[in-house]
Amino acid sequence: MHPVLVKIGPLTFHTYGLFVAGAILAAVWMGSRLAKARGISPEKVMDLTFYAVLAGLAGARLFYVLLNPSLFRGDWLGILRVWEGGLVFYGGFIGALTAVLVYIRRHRLAGGTIFDILAVAAPLGHAIGRIGCFFAGCCHGKVCDLPWAVTFTDPMTLAHPVGVPLHPTQLYEAFANLLIFALLSALYHRKKFANRLFLVYVMVYGIARAIIEIFRGDPRGFLFDGMLSTSQALGLTAATVAALLLVVLHIRNKRADR
């Protein structure tokens, strides 16, 4: 692929950075659009998104560094070069979620509605961001001989091994996120799972991520003697907790209707 989009003199513009910027803009646009339709100030959503993005990037990079400390030995300034690739979704999720909770409480916003909006906007942005991963070569798959396998040849790619067909796991996840976006958009506009849509997002994405992790081939953290990747464990745990909360809320609503 093409990890470097263009070079202008001493400046290098990475394709990954372009797609991350596009992902943020798409998520902000979708969130503002949905917020305006619900009578929520789009400016509030943009402010919230700004803080969530900053906290999310910090959390995503921190998790990546903690899981891959050897990559930064002797090059600690490399930690700041986020535009070159190297973010962990669940680290970003935790960072962004913390920022959103603080913002909602401080500005006394309707938490259920805000999280419903985020549940629709997040997978759209995530899908675009994963295409950036594809160009950078990070989050790549295992070696395979499938017809749709991709071969990375650029010497600057983060994929390994170079010149060998690999599962395009970045595109698997981009496609999965687009499906999740379509599903949650439909549920949102039909007012299904109102104030609970974020839990549906966490559950569905957690399952999808755990499945895609099976085909990942990049070096990352593992648990239980390599049986589960860290992201698989987090995804399955988050999906289980979200599913249980959905059941509890459903039972509680049933009782309240009696």
**Residue position matching structure tokens 């506009």:** 189
Range of the domain at 47: 4-257
Q: Which of 183, 171, 97, 84 is nearest to 134 (CA)?
A: 171
Under 8 Å CB-to-CB from 115, ≥6 apart: which residues? 100, 195, 197, 198
Find the helix or strand (DSSP H, E) in which 7 lies. strand 4-8
pTM for this entry = 0.87
Q: pLDDT tens across 138-161, in order?
A: 889 999 999 999 999 998 898 989
Judge whether 38 is annotated as a binding position.
no
Q: Are 147 and 35 in contact (CB under 8 A)?
A: no
The total number of residues shown for the chain amounts to: 258
Peptide bond connecting 161 to the previous residue in cis, omega within 30 degrees of 0:
yes
Q: Which residues of the chain register pLDDT less than 50?
A: none
CA distance linking residue 213 with residue 201, whole number of Å: 18
What pLDDT, in 10s, does the model give residues 77-110? 777 776 666 677 778 889 999 999 999 999 888 8
Domain total in the chain: 1
